[in-house]
A and B are shown apart, each in its own frame.
Chain A
């Protein structure tokens, strides 16, 4: 059962426009959400995160929105640049069992292509 879902395998956006990447989750125990970016032949790199006590977190061109009631989060990139072309993974963490026991669950990823 997939607990973190990224339903769009790919997304194409014109340079300068907004990119919106979506993520849905099912486990109400998740209390922290992260976005990672991955280029080919490299490991994922951390992009931005949000705690479940917030509904928005902004870092430069990147903003993450969290809608807890809908169990939905989204990553907005404005303006999009060709260098943003990568695979974006949504991830969630929370206490699964026992004190201090945290795991990170990833979605399948969305490949973003920013067209010059």
Chain B
């Protein structure tokens, strides 16, 4: 089954404690991306990757890091999480570029206290 898998689904952490949210896709997609969803703000792009070792900033990259060492994986790293990073995070992938259908993961609900 074609899917994008994020882990964990829910996470509560404390300010400053480094964390990683994993994302994996099984569709051999080149393009992957991370979004955060906040009330009243919709979905905002954090980072995207057009292929292995090729990443770029989205609209709200501050406080986040990503890496793309393999085609299937695109982890999101919060080196020093802060309460304003409390949000619902989605990973997405698409075959080539984002003007083709994107498949989204089920989301990761992160709370930073």
**Interface on A for B, CB 8 Å cutoff?**
6, 31-32, 34, 36, 41-46, 49, 89, 91, 93-94, 100-109
Contact = CB atoms under 8 A, between A and B. Distances in A.
Given A101-B50, A103-B58, 16 more contacts: A31-B99, A34-B99, A34-B101, A43-B90, A43-B105, A44-B104, A45-B104, A89-B42, A89-B43, A93-B98, A104-B99, A105-B45, A105-B59, A106-B44, A107-B42, A108-B42
Interface residues of B, number: 26
Contacts of A44: 43, 90, 92, 104
Contacts, number: 66
5 contacts: A34-B101, A43-B105, A102-B99, A106-B42, A109-B42
Nearest to B51: A100
B97 interface: yes
Contact of A43 (B4, B41, B56, B59): B4
A103 B98 contact: yes
Interface in B74-113: 90, 92, 97-99, 101-107
Contacts of A101: 50, 56
A106 B34 CA distance: 13
A96 to B, nearest CB: 10
Contact of B104 (A32, A43, A108): A43
Contact of A46 (B58, B90, B102): B102
Nearest to B38: A108
Contact of A93 (B4, B99, B106): B99
Contact of A104 (B33, B106, B107): B33
A108 B107 contact: no
Contacts of A104: 33, 45, 98-99, 102
Given A42-B106, A42-B107, A102 B97 contact: yes
Nearest to B106: A43
Contacts of B35: 106
A70 B102 CA distance: 26
A95 B107 CA distance: 27
Contact of B101 (A41, A49, A94, A100): A49
